[in-house]
Chain A
Amino acid sequence: MNVMYFAWVRERIGVPFEAVETAAATVAGLVAELSARDDRYAIAFADITALRVAVDQELSDFDAPLAGVREIAFFPPMTGG
């Protein structure tokens, strides 16, 4: 699946998006998998209460299942307007 990062999450991880092969069942499982892979992720995902997640471009939560999902995005709370 395609994993995207925005704002300071993108800056900490160092790429705007990447293709990720995962066996994780949920968003939280993917976060744990990435965090174990490299410190950049562990640092960016250290406090997931400070993060929001979108699943296939809809705001979702960390318990959301990944089956059939094409795109996940992680970002800080939005500051539009």
Chain B
Amino acid sequence: MRVRIQDAPFDAGAELNAFSGGNGVGAIVSFTGVVRDTDSTLAAMEIEHYPGMTERAISGIVDDAMARWALIDVLVIHRYGRLVTGAPIMMVATKSAHRAAAFAAADFLMDYLKSRAPFWKKEITADGSAWVAAKEADEDALSRW
């Protein structure tokens, strides 16, 4: 398990290459979340987190995924602090012998990271700032698992 919580930007391609490889690996799935700017009003995103609990919560979610699927390894990187549009926010990568486990585990990890890892996003625009509200659909997504 590789879990990193950081304010620094990261290169998702380089991270994926570094994560790749290993005995018995037949499938690698990755997801990268990026600061979206749909109508060109967003100046930046600020992400607050709960140091200590963040690491515990993510490690617990990864443990659950590894208990549930035959994974060889899991990578989670999540940023905090001020992020500009287009910048990577977080990434998840899974590797396993076969693709079904890698896809399912990545999907599970994303659903849980959204609603159970203690991060809070704030959108900064020219007019001010607003906390991003959690979506009911994100909470409902957990019942799939």
A binding-site residues for B, Cβ under 8 Å: 4, 6-8, 10, 54, 57-59, 73, 75-81
Contacts and interface: CB of A to CB of B under 8 A. Distances in A.
A79 B139 contact: no
Interface in B96-134: 110, 113-122, 131-134
B49 to A, nearest CB: 8
B139 A54 contact: no
B90 interface: yes
Interface residue range, chain B: 20 to 34
A81 B134 contact: no
B120 A7 contact: yes
A78 B115 contact: yes
Contacts of A10: 48
B131 A78 contact: no
